[in-house]
Amino acid sequence: MFHRSERLFLRPAFPEDSAGILAAIRDEEVVRNLARAPWPYELADAREFAALPQDKRLPHFLVTIPGTGVIGSAGMGEREGVPEIGYWIARDHWGRGYATEAARGVLHVARMLGHRRITAGHFTDNPASGKVLRKLGFVPTGRIGQRFSLARGRAVDSVEYGLDLEADMDPAPFARAA
């Protein structure tokens, strides 16, 4: 599955992307904000990530800029039986709206796949991710949970969010298409 946004191309990872993945993520400030990435992050980890099978119901993507290459990743997983969105962007590309744009693309795909509700979270010491989630319409659930961070080697407080994809859907494009 692929998705094109205004500036980004979201696509599956291929084995030949391993070096690009490593170059983008090999930064402790990026990895420490992720649940499943180890630190230090090595080429073997990038190869393993590139080889992950795609779940047609919960796709994950490399975030690329045409002509630049891999700048991050965004996609869906599942937590407690509910689809969950996650993303990361290489530090060199922070502050340009790429995380919001990539996550918006994943939400578009989630709607196309028929998902009705999606969750997300961020570690409490990563408020920038919370800002991205709120821009996308996610609402804090009021719950602070514990989420294990492989890179940190311990459970970390995580602010939890939810988004009702049906309520957030704009019916106007469907009316114009009819």
| Residue range 119-162, pLDDT digits in tens | 999 999 999 999 999 999 999 999 999 999 999 999 999 999 99
Rounded-to-integer distance, Cα 64 and Cα 77, Å: 20
Rounded-to-integer distance, Cα 32 and Cα 150, Å: 8
Are 46 and 19 a contacting pair, CB within 8 Å? yes
> What is residue 115's three-state secondary structure?
coil
| Residue range 65-74, pLDDT digits in tens | 999 999 999 9
**Residue-level pLDDT at 30:** 97
Classify domain 3-177 by CATH number.
3.40.630.30
In the chain, where the domains are located: 3-177
Pure H helices in 6-146: 18-25, 28-31, 43-50, 98-112, 127-135
**Residue-level pLDDT at 47:** 98
pTM of the model: 0.91
Tokens coding 151: 């890179």
